[in-house]
């Protein structure tokens, strides 16, 4: 959250710098007009800056309003990007968790079967290949969430789950030939 507070200070700092520069510019103009009034022969040239010009004041107010709007837009953009970054991090965390589950399953399968046959190693059963999908579905996750976690398409996950349902509903083969 410290990052968020630091990033929201950026537009404020920019607007403060702009206001500082504008004020400094006005003070220089006032100082130069004061010195020109003291010079002989300057006459009424310095009298323009004695009273603030309403047009200059309106321009300054309009500039301040524009700076405030710009700072709000920048702040909103930073907040949006921060939210997107948080979503990407959460997605990465889900994928890491799914990968850890897969690694754990692979470790368990190698420790349980110390001498698997070559045929078993080359042709995995659907339960072996799609075990993580089945596990996540049994935990109550939707196909869209499972697809997001595993980096698959929702259609692929739904197909895997439908094939599982068909296999569980299929009748065992009959001996009548």
HEC sequence for the chain: CHHHHHHHHHHHHHHHHHHHHHHHHHHHHHHHHHHHHHCCCCHHHHHHHCCCCHHHHHHHHHHHHHHHHHHHHHHHHHHHHHHHHHHHHHHHHHHHHHHHHHHHHHHHHHHHCCCCCHHHHHCCCHHHHCHHHHHHHHCCCCHHHHHHHHCCCHHHHHHHHHHHHHHHHCCCCCCCC
Please give the Cα distance from 69 to 77 (Å, whole number): 12
In this predicted structure, what is the pLDDT of residue 123? 54
In this predicted structure, what is the pLDDT of residue 30? 85
In this predicted structure, what is the pLDDT of residue 80? 92
In this predicted structure, what is the pLDDT of residue 118? 47
pTM: 0.36
**What is the pLDDT tens value at each position of the chain, 177 positions in all?**
455 566 677 887 888 898 999 899 899 888 887 776 655 555 555 555 556 788 888 999 999 999 999 999 999 999 999 999 998 898 888 888 888 888 888 888 888 765 555 444 555 566 667 888 888 888 888 999 888 888 889 999 999 999 888 877 775 655 544
């Amino acid at each position: 959250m410290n990052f968020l507070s630091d990033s929201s200070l950026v537009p404020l700092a920019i607007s403060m710098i702009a206001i500082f520069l504008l004020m400094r510019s006005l003070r220089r103009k006032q100082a130069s007009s004061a010195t020109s009034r003291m010079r002989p022969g300057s006459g009424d040239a310095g009298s323009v800056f004695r009273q603030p010009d309403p047009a200059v004041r309106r321009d300054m107010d309009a500039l301040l309003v524009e700076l405030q709007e710009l700072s709000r837009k920048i702040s909103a953009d930073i907040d949006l990007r921060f939210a997107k970054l948080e979503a990407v991090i959460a997605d990465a965390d889900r994928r890491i968790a799914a990968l850890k589950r897969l690694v754990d399953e692979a470790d368990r399968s190698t420790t349980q079967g110390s001498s698997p046959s070559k045929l078993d190693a080359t042709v995995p059963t659907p339960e072996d290949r799609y075990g993580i999908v089945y596990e996540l579905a049994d935990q109550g996750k939707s196909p869209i969430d499972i697809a997001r976690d595993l980096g698959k398409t929702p259609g692929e996950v739904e197909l895997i789950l439908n094939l599982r349902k068909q296999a569980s509903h299929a009748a065992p083969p009959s001996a009548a030939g």
